[in-house]
A and B are shown apart, each in its own frame.
Chain A
Amino acid sequence: MPEANPKALDASELAALKPEDTKFSDLGIIKPLCDACDQLKFKHPTEIQKESIPWALEGRDIIGLAQTGSGKTAAFALPILQKLWDNPQSLFACVMAPTRELAYQISETFESLGALIGVKSAVIVGGMDMMSQSITLSKRPHIIVCTPGRLQDHLENTKGFSLRNLKYLVMDEADRLLDMDFGPKIDQILKVIPRERNTFLFSATMTTKVQKLQRASLNNPVKVEVSAKYSTVSTLLQYMLFFPLKHKDCYMVYLLNELAGNSTIIFTRTCSDAQKIAVMLRNLGFPAIPLHGQMAQSKRLGALNKFKAGNRNILVATDVASRGLDIPAVDIVVNYDVPQTSKDYIHRVGRTARAGRSGKSITFVTQYDVELIQRVEKDLGRKLDQYPLEKDEVMMLQERVNEAQRIATIELKEKGGDSKSGKRGRGGNDDDDQDRDDDVVQAGNRKFNNNKKGGKMNKRRR
């Protein structure tokens, strides 16, 4: 590195500089990777990149805390790629992510940053064919991006695949990885990868559990924190709307009508809500598409791609889409239900106003959600403004909305029969639905979820 960049600054000097004044080369990044950054129009490192890359290049373990959309992925991708360049080796790094969509996105970042140095990366997530993944793995990619469930499955069942020589382990959205039932899987994975490795934890928020993990797998880590615990970007305008529960759909339709043409994500608490709203909106002629954990993986990817491509500009999603996903052009986030925790709120509204753009978030509050919203406001340290609108105009839509609701309910009932059987069919060949089940947890059905899992474990043992 020194010869690659003799002018590398030391950490203290760097810290004094603003992100706008630094260049990637100042951080000690080698030329081919700087070129790749240029091609991707990354002109200056972001705060988190500036803080973490020099430490990473020094070979330290890192805990990175930064809000979403702040360039976290590149913050760990760049140093890994650079180390790989110095010391090429297959199965060099493993990146774990809580959702399949996020895994694909991280892999894309690696591929585009590593295009110039010829990096091969593989995505190993549930819902896809085990066999073709085994083949991909046996071609020995440099980087594996995975969800923990499926990776563990491969470590256990795919002969000839091991992570014995792994050098880097990254956990993106680390708090979520530990939040859910990933815990045991991750423990198992940690057992079979070498202790002499570098570990990076990245997350927007930090829980006590992360600290637990930190003890288990980190070695004298550097903690890099670029902003306060609960915060949102300044270019984001946050609003709330207060109304009685029964008018919820009506308000939503009014809003979408007012804001037509913007790309919008509507977050719901449950999968069935997401499905129902999407159908209802479609009946009213809105280009809406659902995204939730009860959809097959291929459909989830398809929905996301349609939304990204702009074919449908309203995405109705559960929290499956709330973290890590980088969809650059989201203008508005609607919280159909108030998020259960402040953390979820931060993640959800973090889908918009990314990378310096502006954005709006509107949270629906009904008589039952007052306590929740107050908690969020307390954590944010500010009151949310009331979104300005004309109440009478909203009420004029009531009739049409009711009609659409009715049709949607009938439609779903008709489809309900096949979707149930479809789900059962899928359960048979789809072992890794870890990252899908989280929606069920969100829906307050934890008990049901656990039962189901118990059954699965038995099946596998046999």
Chain B
Amino acid sequence: MTPLQKSLFHSFNQYRDVAYCNRDIDNAKEIRKAYALHALNHVLKTRDRVLKNNERISKAQKANRDIEEMRDQGFTRPKVLILLPFRNTAVDVVTALIELSGSEQQEHKKRFYDEFNLLEEEEEKADKPMDYQETFNGNIDDHFRLGIKFTRKTMKLYSDFYSADIIIASPLGLRTVIGAEGDRKRDFDFLSSLEVIIMDQTQQFLMQNWDHIDHILEHVNLIPKDAHGCDFSRVKSWYLDGRAKYLRQNLVFADFLTPEINAMFNKHMKNVGGKLKIKQSYEGSMIDAIAQVPQTFVRVEAQSLATADDLRFKYFVEKTLPTLQRSAITQSHTLIFVPSYFDFVRLRNYLEDNKYSCAHICEYTPTPQVSKARSDFFHGRASFVLYTERFHFFRRYNIRGAYHVIFYGLPDHPQFYTEIVNYLALKADASSAEEATFSCSALFSRYDMLKLERIVGTDRARKMCSSGKNLFVFS
């Protein structure tokens, strides 16, 4: 065991909630092993207890004497839920479970590897950043669910949820089973007795659909609608009282902390065993930028979170855009980076209504149109391009022809900031006079503290959020 695994496993085994926000490509495997071990340990421990009690009860029945209550079960069998973004990580986790379980036989193992590994040859991704290669390596289908059942000697993959011990699923895969209010076919009773929930690569759920996570967590540990053949005399009393969510352990692993994860930490992680949030302080990813441009940060004053979005829009339209328009240089070849799709739509509509020459690229844009937008922008046929964070997450394109970059909001992923600033260095034959006109500016508000600190560093971010000035230039 590595020191990290040791310290994490120690907390796991004390059944505390853990939100670990320092995950990265280097420690991903260690973490995965550690929680796989914990999940397996938990399942086997509880199973042993049930088996032992079964024996005691049958002995007592044979001897025809009464025995005190044995409350050792939930309503339904599944105890551990592991949420993963893509099939490729599911392969890793299941492989780890197979190794750790020491089971002699695995049912449906071949089917699993057939379905969860990539069928065709992988395309070359060598020119993409490391973290992209890691995330999108192999089968990146995000709609799957899998029940795993452990018996004395075998491990059964693809078992029915009600007879499974561990459920591995993507948020989307689980959400489609849970269904929505009013759906004809819904099922979430099998989530009633979860004791451990593990979420790995949590920041990637944000790039998928965070709504699913909230939806799932709202359907966990409810009293089931149907008995599903459970033995009521052995159901633990906190399940009967509907208090199971207070005894559920939640383990969350993410590359960084976001307000969404914080909200989940406060709202859904109610373990009476206590909870830990582990987060580092940052040096800032800004220093990794190659492009030699002054980087400007402007703080938009917002009194409340509710008005922050409107104020940012207002500031952009009233201050940033006119400034861009005023100068002949900044009028064209300007890339506007927008983290959220909602802001994207708002800006797109505004720019279209006001007849700006503008191309846009978001996660819903079909590939031919993306190519057209990129080429229009490169050749100056479109002066602006709108570019979203989610698109960048899934595609990681280099957008050529950008002389000015404006961050309407900061990206969650700190490396995206440098990658986008580096678009400015893509023009190899730029003269120093041209380079001198390049610019980069970003809007932020004090609610973006978490994003900001990853880009400029923790200490600086703190100053920038509280300082009397609202304009900061780094060169």
Interface residues of A (CB under 8 A from B): 130-132, 134-135, 137-140, 157-161, 165
Contacts and interface: CB of A to CB of B under 8 A. Distances in A.
Contacts of B233: 138, 159-161
A26 B226 CA distance: 50
- Interface bin, chain B: 10 to 19
- In the complex, the 4 A-B pairs of residues with the closest C-beta atoms, listed nearest first: A160-B233, A138-B232, A160-B231, A160-B232
A130 B224 CA distance: 11
A158 B232 contact: yes
A159 B240 contact: no
A137 B235 CA distance: 11
B223 A160 contact: no
A160 B66 contact: no
A29 to B, nearest CB: 29
Contact of B224 (A131, A140, A158, A165): A131
Interface of B: 66, 69, 223-227, 229-235, 237, 240
Chain B contact residues, majority secondary structure: loop
Given A139-B237, A139-B240, A165-B66, A159 B224 contact: no
Give the interface centre of A134, A137, A140, A161 by most chain B CB atoms within 10 Å.
A134
Nearest to B235: A138
A161 B231 CA distance: 8
Contacts of B69: 140
A131 B231 contact: no
A165 B223 CA distance: 28
Given A132-B223, A139-B240, A140-B69, 13 more contacts: A131-B224, A131-B225, A131-B226, A134-B232, A138-B233, A138-B240, A139-B237, A158-B227, A158-B232, A159-B230, A160-B233, A160-B234, A165-B66
Contacts of A140: 69
Nearest to A164: B66
Nearest to B242: A135
Contacts of B232: 134-135, 137-138, 158-161
Contact of A131 (B66, B227, B234, B237): B227
A132 B240 CA distance: 9
A396 B69 CA distance: 71
A5 to B, nearest CB: 31
A132 B232 CA distance: 11
A134 B66 contact: no
Contact of B223 (A135, A137, A159, A161): A135
A135 B225 CA distance: 11
19 contacts: A131-B224, A131-B225, A131-B226, A132-B223, A134-B227, A135-B223, A135-B232, A135-B240, A137-B232, A139-B237, A158-B232, A159-B229, A159-B230, A159-B231, A159-B232, A159-B233, A160-B230, A160-B231, A165-B66
B156 to A, nearest CB: 23
A193 to B, nearest CB: 16
B272 to A, nearest CB: 21
A159 B234 CA distance: 9
Nearest to B241: A139
Nearest to A139: B240
A165 B65 CA distance: 11
A131 B229 contact: no
A138 B240 CA distance: 8
A131 B233 CA distance: 14
A140 B241 CA distance: 13
A165 B233 CA distance: 14
Contacts of A132: 223
A159 B227 contact: yes
A130 B227 contact: yes
A283 to B, nearest CB: 37
B163 to A, nearest CB: 15
A139 B234 CA distance: 10
B430 to A, nearest CB: 70
B240 A131 contact: no
A138 B224 CA distance: 14
Give the interface centre of B224, B235, B237 by most chain A CB atoms within 10 Å.
B235
B49 to A, nearest CB: 17
A158 B234 CA distance: 12
A137 B232 CA distance: 8
A12 B42 CA distance: 66
B50 to A, nearest CB: 13
A135 B233 CA distance: 9
A130 B232 CA distance: 12
Contacts of B225: 131
Contacts of A157: 227
Contacts of B235: 138, 160
A139 B241 CA distance: 9
Contacts of A159: 227, 229-233
Nearest to A90: B69
Nearest to B237: A139
Nearest to B189: A131
Give the interface centre of B223, B229, B231, B233 by most chain A CB atoms within 10 Å.
B233
Contacts of A161: 232-233
Give the interface centre of B69, B230, B232, B240 by most chain A CB atoms within 10 Å.
B232
Contacts of A158: 227, 232
A135 B232 CA distance: 7
A130 B234 CA distance: 18
A356 B233 CA distance: 45
A130 B223 CA distance: 12
A131 B225 CA distance: 6
Given A138-B240, A139-B237, A165-B66, A131 B230 contact: no
Contacts of B226: 131
A134 B235 CA distance: 11
B221 to A, nearest CB: 14
Contacts of A134: 227, 232
Nearest to B239: A135
A138 B69 CA distance: 11
Nearest to A136: B240
A158 B231 CA distance: 7
Give the interface centre of A130, A138, A139, A160 by most chain B CB atoms within 10 Å.
A138
Contacts of A137: 232
Contacts of A160: 230-235
Nearest to B71: A138
B28 to A, nearest CB: 42
Nearest to B232: A138
B84 to A, nearest CB: 32
A184 to B, nearest CB: 24
A300 to B, nearest CB: 23
Contacts of A135: 223, 232, 240
A144 to B, nearest CB: 14
Nearest to B233: A160
Contacts of A138: 232-233, 235, 240
A160 B223 CA distance: 17
A159 B224 CA distance: 15
A186 to B, nearest CB: 23
Nearest to A137: B232
Contacts of B240: 135, 138-139
A233 to B, nearest CB: 45
A140 B71 CA distance: 12
A135 to B, nearest CB: 5
A444 to B, nearest CB: 38
Contacts of B237: 139
